[in-house]
Amino acid sequence: MSYVVFDIETTGLDTWNDRIIEIGAVKVEGGQVIEEFNMLINPGVPIPANVSAINNIYDNMVADAKLPGEVLYRFHEFIKDTEYLVGHNAKRFDYPFLQSEFDRHFVKFNPFVVKDTVWFARSKIKGLRSYSLAALCRIFNIKNEDAHRALSDVYATHYVYLELLKR
């Protein structure tokens, strides 16, 4: 059984007006990572300073990055044969953002089943004050060295997902 754990970084929270600036993902088979995907995207708009302060992605880092259509096409090629996607808060944020960007850039996108570690954690661990990725990493003693960068958050989400599967 293969699945892809993914995460995105964006210029903001609005799927209509904001843009994806980084996509990270790992393909997993038998609980083991077999392939990585990580690309910055030139969003064509400035990255707000308050966003850069969180994810440490700045305009100069994306200035020479690939344009959204190309990155989204490559990402779709990466995920197209997988059984499902896994993400943290993916059902409310990452996946709808991806759908919006695929539509905006006319990249054909087939719907995927999405397993959300926020919802999964709520069903497995009752009564937490927070189900944030940081909170779950603390509970499971998982290090997320570069939090709020896509690939680092992907690995943290992957390890959280594996821990939740054990319960």
- The catalytic site residues sit at 148
Dist CA 113 CA 107 (whole Å): 18
Dist CA 137 CA 94 (whole Å): 19
> For residue 91, what are its two tokens?
């059902």
Specify whether the CB–CB gap between 136 and 159 falls below 8 A: no
Dist CA 150 CA 127 (whole Å): 28
